[in-house]
């Protein structure tokens, strides 16, 4: 199922919650990529792979995964988007754009 940002109240939108939603969103996108590329994937393997990848992107960007900030999340999401675009090329563009837009709905509601 394609990821859609959950309908959260403002007080529910914290950097940690948005970081967790990023993991869920990335899992959804990667399932779609696997389907597109006809590659079988198990949910447990995908969750572990996505978490490791997202944590490494946060680290490479010099931002905290455990204590995320709005700016740090924006930086990491931008890097994830760029990496996905390089990896998937035009065939993944629609999937990437959809997931990026859904995540930005939450990020844009974070306070500084």
With respect to residue 20, please indicate whether it lies within any of the assigned structural domains.
Answer: yes
With respect to residue 2, please indicate whether it lies within any of the assigned structural domains.
Answer: no
For residue range 52-81, list pLDDT tens digits in order.
Answer: 999 999 999 999 999 999 999 999 999 999
3-class DSSP assignment, residue 39: coil
With respect to residue 5, please indicate whether it lies within any of the assigned structural domains.
Answer: no
- Number of domains making up the chain: 1
Stretch (H or E) spanning 77: helix 70-88
With respect to residue 7, please indicate whether it lies within any of the assigned structural domains.
Answer: no
- The whole-number pLDDT of residue 61 equals 96
pLDDT at 1 over 80: no
With respect to residue 59, please indicate whether it lies within any of the assigned structural domains.
Answer: yes
In 3D space, the residue among 27, 108, 16, 112 whose CA is nearest the CA of residue 58 turns out to be 16
For residue range 5-61, list pLDDT tens digits in order.
Answer: 999 999 999 999 999 999 999 999 999 999 989 998 888 999 999 999 999 999 999
- Measured between its terminal Cα atoms, the distance across the chain in Å is 31
With respect to residue 8, please indicate whether it lies within any of the assigned structural domains.
Answer: no
């Amino acid at each position: 199922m394609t990821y859609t940002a959950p309908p959260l109240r403002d007080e529910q939108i914290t950097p940690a919650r948005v970081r967790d939603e990023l993991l869920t969103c990335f899992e959804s996108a990667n399932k779609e990529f696997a389907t597109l590329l006809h590659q079988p994937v198990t949910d447990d393997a995908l969750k572990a792979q996505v978490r490791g990848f997202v944590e490494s992107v946060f680290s490479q960007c010099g931002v905290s995964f455990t204590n995320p900030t709005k700016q740090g999340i924006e930086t990491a999401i931008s890097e994830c988007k760029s990496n996905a675009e390089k990896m998937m090329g035009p065939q993944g563009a629609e999937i990437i754009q959809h997931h990026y837009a859904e995540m930005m709905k939450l990020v844009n509601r974070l306070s500084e």
